Each structure stands twice: as C-alpha cells, then as structure tokens.
Structure 1
Amino acid sequence: MCAVELSDLACPCCQQPTWRLYTDIERYVSEHLSRDITLKELANRFAYSPNYFGVLFRDQVGVSFNDFLVDMRMKRAKEMLATQRFKIYEVADLVGYKSLTYFTRMFKKAYGMTPGDYKKLG
C-alpha cells in the first residue's frame, strides 16, 4: 500500500488530474497561449459540445476552463518575467493578453504584485 498524506486527499486542487485528456488539453493550451483560446475551440478539437466539455472539465480538473487558462498564462508570465529577457508588454502579448492594463490587473490578482514589481525582484 502506498503512503498517502491525509492532506493530499483533503485538497483535490493540489493533485494532478487523472483525466486521460488532461495532458493533451494542457499541451494544446500551453502551445497556443498567445492566441485567444476558447472553451468552444477546445471542445471542438476534442469532439465535445462546448456545454458538456465545460461541465466535464470542471468535474475532472476541479476548476473552470477559464480559471485553468488564466493560471497557465500567469505561470508562464511569471517564468518569462524571471528571465529578464522580455519587456512586460512583450510578456503580456506572448501569454495572450492584448491589453497591458488587464494583464497587470490579472498578474497582481494572482501574485499580489504588479509584473513590474515582480521583475524588479528577479
């Protein structure tokens, strides 16, 4: 029997989803972050109706597709800002935000600081 921490069982959001499509979805989203990715587009790609796919995604992953997408974009932005190679507006564009103001607002909501402040830390 494998040793499992009780806290791991209590926090489903901390576990990697076991849905067999999850890896393909994650890869697709990661490869297309700079584009405007929609639930409808993803549902069509994997041959589901958008409504069913949205419900299935939330049930299997534990968060809405939109929250998943924002989280992936913010993680990629954080990685890019840490390298110091990119300007903030370039990072925003590369992770799919056409509005620098909106990108800054989303980054601050996710990490408690602006992208500029985070970049200064690195």
Structure 2
Amino acid sequence: MVVRTILIVDDEPGTRQGIRKTLELWADGRYRIESVANGVEAAEWLAHNTAHLLITDVRMPEISGLDLIRSLEDRPDRPASVVISGYAEFEYVQTALRFGTVGYLLKPIDKDELLEITERALKQEEERHRAEKLAKLVDPKLFAMEEEVLRPNGPVGEVMAYVDEHLQEHLTMADMAAKVHLNASYFSVLFKEQAGITFSEYVTRRRIQRAKELLTQTRLSVGEIAEQVGYNTDKYFIKVFKQLEQISPSRYRNEMAALQ
C-alpha cells in the first residue's frame, strides 16, 4: 500500500515546523509528512518524489508557491495544493485558486483550520485521481454504448457477448456472421447500424480495453498480455495500443501506477 505524502514548503522555520508538528500528531503514521525550506528545495524534492498534498507559502524568494503549483500542472501525479498567505497577499491567493488550489490558510495559522483544509484537500485529491484513473481505463466509445444501453439483443448482442468471452481467439466477421446464421455482408451492415462502430473496431477496442485492465491489475508482461487479448506478436499489439491510446502499454502501466 502506498503511503500518501504531504509536503510543506515555507521559508519561515517557525511556521514550517509548527505545521509539520500539527500534521504529524494528526496523521499518527497514516501519512508521510515532509517539509522543505523554500521553492527551490521543493522543486528538487518533487523531481524525485511524489506528494499527494502540497502546502506551500504563496510568496518565497527564487521560486514562489505559485510558480511551484504552475510547474506541477501537467504532471499525472500532481498533488492537491493549499497556499499559506498573509492578509496583504490575497491577490496571489486568487491566482492560486484559479490554478485549482483547494484553499488557503492565513497567518498566523489556526490548527483547526489547518486540519480541516488538509482533510478536504486529501479527499479531493483522492477523488480526482480516481476519476482520472477511470477515464484512462475506460474506452469512451464502449462506455457510451453501455451508458446509452445500445448493446442490442439478437444476433449483434450475441456476437458482442461471444467476442467479450473469446478475445484471445482469432475472430473474423465471416465466422461471427455464420455463428448467428446471417450473410456476412448483411451482418456487417447490421452490426454498424446497431453498435455505431464496425465489427473490427469493436473487437480492437474490446481487446485494448481488456489489455488496459491487465496492465493495471496484473504484473503480466506486455508479451503475455498481448497473447491473452488475441495478438500473435507483442510488436503488433504495441502498435495497435499506441494507435488507440496515443501511448505505449508500458508507459500506460507506469502512468496508472502513478495514479494509485
């Protein structure tokens, strides 16, 4: 189990140590609490570690809290953020809020407010990562079909169910049409009409969907997964996966692991 981490960044030793002590008592070992003295140290720490929550002073020399938050925008494992400010710095706070910061703490920091916003930020971070992981895991076209209850009964539904249970096998439209006693040309038109995508696209999307589940939930190699979802070579599997997901299977696995 990954221990979630809170990183505190403040160039005032008293504030930094006070926040750390309060959070360590509250966390009681449930979270890893780390602290650094400025934005430069924070950037270095974040280059080699993952934080789930960043609590940072909004104004610091060299690298400000705002710069730090901006620098993390495109990271798949970006943390939730809370900024610390003085009354004269509210313009900076407003900018931070536009970057998705959960909220702010005014100095001197109230312990109850610190704990309340910490719990809220961690909850939001967990929900966001869960949503991002689901979005990366689920094929949008297949999801839309199921959401709109477009999976039909009859021959097309029967073939869909068969495909889902036999992804590792060689699946052709001609064989599937014969299975439901239909002419291949007629079945091709019927499938596209009822499913909204062609038979071959459906098979490809189902195979890649299953591959994503295996990449996320197992330690099987890419080659083993390719075989389980019906590809004779991992090279061709990787090519198809990249075409559909714009990312390699290995990188997909790493990015999903980062969202844990």
Query: Any idea what SS the aligned residue of 1:102 has?
Result: helix
**Structure 2 residue aligned with 1:32:** 166
Give the gaps of 5 or more residues in structure 1: 1-10
Q: Distance in 1 between matches of 2:186 and 2:157?
A: 19
Q: Provide the alpha-carbon RMSD of the alignment.
A: 1.8
Give the gaps of 5 or more residues in structure 2: 1-140
**Structure 2 residue aligned with 1:117:** 251
Query: Which residue, 153, 163, 179 being the options, matches 1:20?
Result: 153
Alignment of 1:75 onto 2:209: yes
**Structure 2 residue aligned with 1:107:** 241
Query: Any idea what SS the aligned residue of 1:79 has?
Result: helix
Q: Distance in 2 between matches of 1:28 and 1:81?
A: 23
1:76 and 1:18, CA in 2 relative to 1: closer, same or farther beyond 3 A?
closer
Q: CA deviation at 1:118?
A: 1.1
The 8 Å contact of residues 84 and 119 in structure 1, kept in 2 or not, is answered as no
**Structure 2 residue aligned with 1:91:** 225
**Quick one: which amino acid aligns to residue 113 of structure 1?**
I
Q: Distance in 1 between matches of 2:171 and 2:210?
A: 15
**Structure 1 residue aligned with 2:191:** 57
Q: Distance in 1 between matches of 2:215 and 2:200?
A: 22
**Quick one: which amino acid aligns to residue 16 of structure 1?**
V
Q: CA deviation at 1:84?
A: 3.1
**Quick one: which amino acid aligns to residue 42 of structure 1?**
M
**CA-to-aligned-CA distance 1:70-97 (integer Å, 9 cap, x gap):** 0000100000000132110000000000
Deviates more, 1:17-26 or 1:100-109: 17-26
**Structure 2 residue aligned with 1:45:** 179
Q: Distance in 2 between matches of 1:96 and 1:18?
A: 22
The 8 Å contact of residues 29 and 37 in structure 1, kept in 2 or not, is answered as yes
Which ranges of 4 or more aligned residues in structure 1 deviate by more than 4 Å? Answer: none
Deviates more, 1:14-23 or 1:30-39: 14-23
The number of aligned residues is 111
Q: Distance in 2 between matches of 1:43 and 1:77?
A: 25
Write 1 or 2 for the structure with the bigger share of helix: 1
Q: Distance in 2 between matches of 1:44 and 1:17?
A: 23
**Structure 2 residue aligned with 1:8:** none
